[in-house]
Amino acid sequence: MLTGDGWITIAVIVGMVVVMAANLAGPDMVLIAAVTILLLTGIIEPSEAFIGFSNPAVVTIAALFVVAAGVRETGGLDLAARVVLGRPRSLAGGQLRMMFPVSALSAFLNNTPVVAMFVPLITGWARRNHFSVSLMLLPLSYASILGGTCTLIGTSTNLVVAGLAKEWDPTVHFGIFDIAILGIPALTIGMLFIVITSQRLLKDRRGAHQELGKAREYTIAMRVEKGSPVIGDSIEEAGLRSLRGVYLYEIERGGRVLAAVPPTTVLREGDRLHFTGVVDSVVDLRKQRIVPDTDQVDKITARRDRSLVEAVIGAHSSLIGQTIRVSRFRTIYDAAILAVHRQGVRVTETKVGDIRLQAGDVLLIEAHPDFAQTRQRDPNFVLVAEVEGSAPPRHDRAWLAAVILFLMVLVNATGSMNLMVASLSAAGLMLLTRCLTGEQARRSLDWTVLIAIASAFGIAIAIQKSGAAEVLASRLMDVAAPFGNVGLLVALYAITAVLAGLVTTKASAALMFPIAAAAAQAQGIGLLPMSYMIMIAASTAFSTPIGFQTNLMVYGPGGYKYTDFLRLGLPLQVLIGISTVTIVSLAWL
């Protein structure tokens, strides 16, 4: 019999789903509000409401954000994108190139670090190849989930079920690859379904990316300096042809101007590359191993701690009427002007130092990270703002970041160190070796993701504690029993999958396993196939963003709405369910 607490919990869950489906608030705010209501009604205790914030999974995700930032800030992710992902010619080809390595890694590593590492990599790679980020990140999450179903260690949910089964029957034995009989077909079906249908079922949610054409444009010159790794590479091989929102329109070489250069043109030392593009795309140039080419910047390029800043010249600025060279801007501000944007058009003088400044000019400046803060009240500027993510990569430390990442994966895969300790150690090493700064580490933490995941634990406790899930599951099992063993499998799979979408996958598995084990015993079905089926059903929570933490991790970066998960995830979940129940019926019943 459902208690009052159970009805309240169900009402909160329904309300939460409605609000998220209508996109009225972000998942972090919705989940925090739901936990607060459950706390106020006394269904959960304060110690239970926010227990997720001390959960190892949440701490691990936070540490992995820092590790991923360390790899990104040293340029390692951009190199990996070029080597591993390449330059596919179609969206379907790009999705396959992305899903194969992600699913392979997820079969042996926890899904969370795989997705944490790949989100920034795939985001940048997709933009450079003119693919919609929203058509890549959800398939990324799904590929990691499907890869985790192929081995016993692929996801912690599998290990939870295996542990429960061992307690139920100590004689049962799980081989590391035995579940592959269900996981590999699920992975194959899932990848094919995503490639065939995602363009029709998912909307292209480009967000700010669609506004690039309206953004401020600059003309900027970059130089191939001595020892640069791009020397000898073609423009295309160096990754300078496919940059998002920025265009290489000419090369100045030995006093000659090469206009409309083809992508096969080989770069040489001393080449002066002229680009035009919007400010967000100019940031992408900073990720390449080329440097700004201006007499203003030569004396500060040796400094590592620098970033891009935009500043608007005020109506009464002392800089008005002076050329940049005469104004002694570099000496006074210890910063360099790279380009100027004026009244909706870019200024195209050959030498930046020859540009005569006017009121309202927008300056693109390379400066110390404190420049934007310290110059907020400078009378020469009416607005100063840092360009996000514009710090140049520390390519000299890329090998250090790669070694730290490899060691983290190695000690976790060999079982010599658990994932939380390994990820925290890796994050600490990233900071100690100066692969990234403390400020960059703080910025890398996606608090909306962390809050949403941590809050989900409190909701899962409420569903279990109130008895709502157990009562509903038992009632549905009674309805399914007359339809025989296949009907029983379908009911168990469906209930487990629905619960996984509403709470966490581990909570769904823990709740449903005793019911499934008892039903299997009563119907003469083996505990092993029933356990494998619960593993797949609990792990493949595709249809809601809150069911699996990797879904929450791509929710914000992909610009998704709740309905996107239903459109692509629900039919995928049904297909995987049909495949799993069919194979279990044929192989074990």
Contact 578, 180 (CB under 8 A): no
Q: How many domains does the chain have?
A: 2
CA–CA gap between residue 66 and residue 442 (Å, rounded): 8
Q: For the residues 88-111, what does the mean pLDDT come to?
A: 86
CA–CA gap between residue 582 and residue 589 (Å, rounded): 10
CA–CA gap between residue 283 and residue 122 (Å, rounded): 17
- Residues 33, 172, single domain; the answer is yes
- Residues 35, 181, single domain; the answer is yes
Q: Write down the residue that tokens 């593009």 correspond to.
A: 277
CB within 8 Å of 371: residues ≥ 6 apart: 309, 333, 335, 365, 384, 386
- Residues 12, 139, single domain; the answer is yes
**What are 415-474's pLDDT values in tens digits?**
788 778 888 999 999 999 888 888 778 877 878 767 877 787 787 778 778 877 677 667
Contact 559, 133 (CB under 8 A): yes
Contact 55, 457 (CB under 8 A): yes
- Residues 456, 359, single domain; the answer is no
Sign, CA dihedral 415-420-421-424, equals positive
- Residues 186, 314, single domain; the answer is no
- Residues 377, 452, single domain; the answer is no
Helix (H) or strand (E) holding 165: helix 156-168
- Residues 353, 474, single domain; the answer is no
Q: What's the CATH number where 373 sits?
A: 3.30.70.1450
Band of residue 498 on the pLDDT scale cut at 50, 70, 90:
confident
Which three-class secondary structure state does DSSP give residue 540?
coil
- Residue 3 is encoded by which pair of tokens? 């208690």
Residue 398 domain-assigned (yes or no): no
Band of residue 561 on the pLDDT scale cut at 50, 70, 90:
confident
DSSP H helices in 334-416: 371-374, 398-413
Q: Pick the residue with more confidence: 557 or 41?
A: 41
CA–CA gap between residue 537 and residue 543 (Å, rounded): 12
Sign, CA dihedral 549-555-560-561, equals positive
Chosen domain end from 356, 391, 426 = 391
Residue 356: is it exposed, middle or buried by C-beta count within 10 angstroms (0-12/13-18/19+)? middle
Helix (H) or strand (E) holding 218: strand 217-223
Length of the chain counted residue by residue: 589
Contact 220, 339 (CB under 8 A): yes
Each as own residue / partner, the long-range contacts of residues 342-349 (CB below 8 Å, 24 or more positions apart, any chain) are 345/217, 346/217, 346/218, 346/219, 346/276, 347/219, 348/219
CB within 8 Å of 344: residues ≥ 6 apart: none
| Strands 336-342, 256-259: pairing kind | unpaired
Residue 443 domain-assigned (yes or no): no
Residue 536 pLDDT > 50: yes
Residue 207's pLDDT is 41
Band of residue 211 on the pLDDT scale cut at 50, 70, 90:
very low
CA–CA gap between residue 226 and residue 230 (Å, rounded): 10
Residue among 536, 468, 532, 542 nearest 501 (CA): 542
Average pLDDT value for the chain:
80
Residue 428 domain-assigned (yes or no): no
Residue among 435, 447, 341, 328 nearest 391 (CA): 435
Chosen domain end from 352, 375, 391 = 391
Contact 98, 122 (CB under 8 A): yes
Residue 302 domain-assigned (yes or no): yes
Q: For the residues 101-117, what does the mean pLDDT come to?
A: 78
Residue 374 pLDDT > 70: yes
Which three-class secondary structure state does DSSP give residue 433?
coil
- Residues 387, 498, single domain; the answer is no
CB within 8 Å of 251: residues ≥ 6 apart: 257, 258, 261, 265, 271, 272, 273, 274
Chosen domain end from 391, 415, 440 = 391
- Residues 462, 579, single domain; the answer is yes
Beta bridge partners of 274: 221, 250
CA–CA gap between residue 126 and residue 124 (Å, rounded): 6
- Residues 65, 159, single domain; the answer is yes
- Residues 327, 191, single domain; the answer is no
Residue 312 pLDDT > 60: yes
Residue 423 domain-assigned (yes or no): no
Sheet containing strand 272-278, edge to edge, reads 256-259, 246-253, 272-278, 217-223, 291-292
Residue 212's pLDDT is 38
Q: How far is CA 476 from the centre of its chain?
A: 37
Give the structural domain span for 357. Answer: 296-391
Residue 303 domain-assigned (yes or no): yes
Residue 243 domain-assigned (yes or no): no
Beta bridge partners of 367: 307
Residue 209's pLDDT is 39
CB within 8 Å of 538: residues ≥ 6 apart: 157, 161, 496, 497, 499, 500, 505, 506, 508, 509, 512
Q: For the residues 472-482, what does the mean pLDDT come to?
A: 71
Residue 159 domain-assigned (yes or no): yes
Contact 504, 457 (CB under 8 A): yes
Residue 213's pLDDT is 40
CA–CA gap between residue 211 and residue 425 (Å, rounded): 40
- For residue 430, give the amino acid letter: M
CA–CA gap between residue 156 and residue 391 (Å, rounded): 36
Residue 577's pLDDT is 95
Residue 555's pLDDT is 82
- Residues 186, 40, single domain; the answer is yes
